[in-house]
Amino acid sequence: MKIKFPSISTLWSSFLKVVFRFPLQVLVAIAATIAWCLVVDTSKRTEEELILFLCTCNLALTVLLTVDLYAESNKFSVAKQWVLRLIGLLICVSLHFMLKPAFYLADVYRIALLAFAFHLLVAYSPFINKGSANGFWQYNKTLFLRILTSALYAGVLFAGLAIALVAIDGLFNVNIKWEVYMRLFAVVTAGFMTIFFLAGIPSDFEELDKDDSYPKGLKIFTQYVLIPLMTIYLVILLVYEAKIIVNWELPKGLVSTLILGYAVFGILSLLLIQPIKDKEGNGWIKLFSRFFYVMMIPLVVLLLLAVWKRVGSYGITESRYILVILAIWLTLITIYFLFSKKQSIKIIPVSLSILAILSTYGPQSAFSVSKFSQVKRLNMLMKSNEEEDVKQRSAVIDYLVDRHGLTVLQPFTKVNLRELEHEMELKDTAQYRYAIKRNKIDTAYSLLKVKRTEYAASFDYKQFEPETGTLTDIKGYDYLIPIESYNDKFSQKIGNVELRVERDKQSKSTKVIVGDTVVDFDILKMSIEATNLLKAGKLKGSGGKFYLPTELLSIVHKVGNMEVKLVVTTLNTTINADKKEELDRWFNYNGYLLVRIK
């Protein structure tokens, strides 16, 4: 058997077909590829803008694909199709300017929900009010297999090209930097993989209704891997439910995740076996499909109990709102498939996409409901003098400001928070978003006169390192002595002279003693300077780690006939380094003493 590889002309012809069929999608893929390549070496501010643009491209790709597939299946004219495309494009451009994920964590959730909803729209847009169940299943099977094939091809292509670059780097000393590999990854995934996937999307939707093929590999995977795993998880969950009944205790929070995981993979299994579940010779598959929703009844009850426990104790947040919605959806889906005589698998993606879209904006959205719930909870906590309630205040304030901004706390102060927040965000040209968000939270604590709990203060924990990394320049010095955070006192003989080191936990300084001469290396001052630079947005870094110029992490003193230089390689402190009570919990450092004999 000969394997015939496609010629260059065939590949070019296929590419042109994709361009003519999905012109805007190809442009979006190219734009996303360029943006991803630029993310690699840009400033923090630009990086955040590019990442938002990448998210918008993802939304635009699915929205435009939904529009085109709907227009194709309904045989719309070219003019009508372009009108729909422009409407879809306008929606995505509007979302790009409305969303501010760098400032509000709530918008990160919105992007995720919109992406989920728009991907589901692609799954059923050609079959809205038309097409058979078989055509719908064959269409989604094709998309599913095409995604897997695209990922496989992209993975092999990237690995092959990356190995080639490594070989060139090693053989010819080209010094290929890591940024090149990241750009290559962007081109292969955002560019090649997207266009390759688009090339495999079915175009004849009526022909899909006549297709009754079923991949043998899919049946084997579902029957002998997925369904047995689901059965094991079901047994574990049912035994746990029996334990709850016997001990008469409320379920743990983890159980809700396990039930949802079981439901997702169980429903996926049912969708995968839909065309063959009633055929002869598939007894195990038929048994699973018949009893899956029956066995979901006790699990749904357990899920609703777990949700009630979490919401009743701590109010609603975005994640708990999504959990509540999924629990209600799962309950209704279970009832539908148990009692409906005319069952349609199309209801699964349709209902999920509608719920996801409804959860993004409006008074019923996850963000409006959770904001109302947590503001109400904070109001209750502010009026209470119970020790446990006082401790919970800071966690609620952090949550509200982080997700919804400073203005959400307007009911608690007469200060115009909208104007104040606007002034803070105008300073974005001089500050990183992190510093602005930190200032908002600090302002909230000050206005509400709330003291941070230890839990809230732990988020202020920061680590500073030199820009040069672990590389320490010892040129001009005779000795190098390690300074470890666990070793408070030690001595070192240098010739006939004894050098002693004592770390003072109270003053946060390190004393170097030679004979009768004592010199203090003020690490506290170094820590305060570092955190002030961070608050001013002048440091690079992410998460809890930031980088300082080497000279700011080193101190030089003369001790007798020696010059001693303390070089800090890791400084762990808090954003409030000037507050002793917080510093005592988080302060430590490692480094070296460099000694030169004069």
Give the residue extent of every domain in the chain.
10-210, 216-361, 368-451, 462-597
Residue 131 backbone class (left: φ over 0; alpha: ψ -120 to 50; beta: rest): left
Phi, psi of 450 (to 5 degrees): -110, 135
More confident: 390 or 542:
390
pLDDT band at residue 430 under the 50/70/90 scheme: very low
Q: What is the pLDDT of residue 429?
A: 47
pLDDT of residue 288 exceeding 60 = yes
Q: What is the DSSP secondary-structure string of 42-83? A: --HHHHHHHHHHHHHHHHHHHHHHHHHHHHHHTT--HHHHHH
pLDDT band at residue 433 under the 50/70/90 scheme: low
Q: What is the pLDDT of residue 360?
A: 95
Phi, psi of 411 (to 5 degrees): -60, -15
As to burial, measured by CB atoms within 10 angstroms (0-12 exposed, 13-18 middle, 19+ buried), residue 78 is exposed
pLDDT band at residue 375 under the 50/70/90 scheme: very high
As to burial, measured by CB atoms within 10 angstroms (0-12 exposed, 13-18 middle, 19+ buried), residue 153 is middle
Q: How far apart are CA 388 and CA 503, in angstroms?
A: 37
Q: What percent of the chain has pLDDT over 90?
A: 34
Cβ neighbours around 233 below 10 Å, total:
17
Q: What is the pLDDT of residue 504?
A: 77
pLDDT band at residue 1 under the 50/70/90 scheme: very low
Residue 176, C-beta contacts closer than 8 angstroms, at least 6 positions apart: 165, 166, 168, 169
Q: What is the pLDDT of residue 34?
A: 94
More confident: 11 or 402:
402
Mean pLDDT within 150-159: 94
More confident: 119 or 459:
119
Q: What percent of the chain has pLDDT over 70?
A: 90
Ranges 234-238, 374-378, 507-511, most confident: 374-378
User: Which residues face 508 on adjacent strands?
Assistant: none
Q: 């995720």: which residue's tokens?
A: 112
pLDDT of residue 530 exceeding 80 = yes
Q: How far apart are CA 36 and CA 53, in angstroms?
A: 9
Q: What is the pLDDT of residue 422?
A: 82
3-state secondary structure 24-46: HHHHHHHHHHHHHHHHCCCCHHH
The beta strands (E) that lie in 342-469 are given as 461-466
Mean pLDDT of the chain: 85
What letter represents residue 192's amino acid? F
Q: How far apart are CA 123 and CA 355, in angstroms?
A: 15
Mean pLDDT within 564-570: 89
Residue 264, C-beta contacts closer than 8 angstroms, at least 6 positions apart: none
Judged by average pLDDT, the poorest of 150-164, 188-202, 315-329, 528-542 is: 528-542
pTM to 2 decimal places: 0.76
Mean pLDDT within 451-471: 69
pLDDT of residue 116 exceeding 90 = yes
Phi, psi of 572 (to 5 degrees): -105, 120
The beta strands (E) that lie in 523-587 are given as 540-542, 545-548, 554-559, 562-574
pLDDT of residue 149 exceeding 80 = yes
Judged by average pLDDT, the poorest of 10-19, 448-457, 489-498, 559-568 is: 448-457
Q: How far apart are CA 315 and CA 307, in angstroms?
A: 11
pLDDT tens across 348-371, in order?
999 999 999 999 999 999 999 999
pLDDT tens across 259-283, in order?
888 888 888 888 888 888 777 766 7
Mean pLDDT within 555-576: 85
Pairing relationship of beta strands 545-548 and 461-466 according to DSSP bridges: parallel
- Are residues 404 and 356 in contact, defined by beta-carbon separation less than 8 angstroms? no
Q: 128-150 burial, b for 16+ CB within 10 Å, e for fewer?
A: eeebeeebbbbbbbebeebeeeb
Integer-rounded Cα radius of gyration of the chain: 30
pLDDT tens across 228-256, in order?
888 888 888 888 878 878 877 767 667 78
Residue 4, C-beta contacts closer than 8 angstroms, at least 6 positions apart: none
Judged by average pLDDT, the poorest of 122-126, 168-172, 502-506, 579-583 is: 579-583
pLDDT of residue 574 exceeding 70 = yes
Q: What is the pLDDT of residue 178?
A: 84
Closest among 346, 358, 362 to 120, alpha carbons compared: 346
- Degrees, nearest 5: CA angle 77-82-88: 130
The stretches of 280-386 forming alpha helices (DSSP H) are 283-314, 318-339, 347-358, 366-383
Q: What is the pLDDT of residue 3?
A: 47
pLDDT band at residue 102 under the 50/70/90 scheme: confident
Q: How far apart are CA 362 and CA 201, in angstroms?
A: 34
pLDDT of residue 88 exceeding 90 = yes
pLDDT tens across 203-228, in order?
888 888 888 888 888 878 887 888 88
Q: How far apart are CA 17 and CA 36, in angstroms?
A: 25
pLDDT band at residue 431 under the 50/70/90 scheme: very low
Dihedral sign from CA coordinates of 193, 196, 198, 204: negative
Rounded to a whole number of angstroms, the distance between the first and last alpha carbons of the chain is 82
Helix axes 366-383 and 318-339, enclosed angle (nearest 10): 130
Mean pLDDT within 394-415: 89
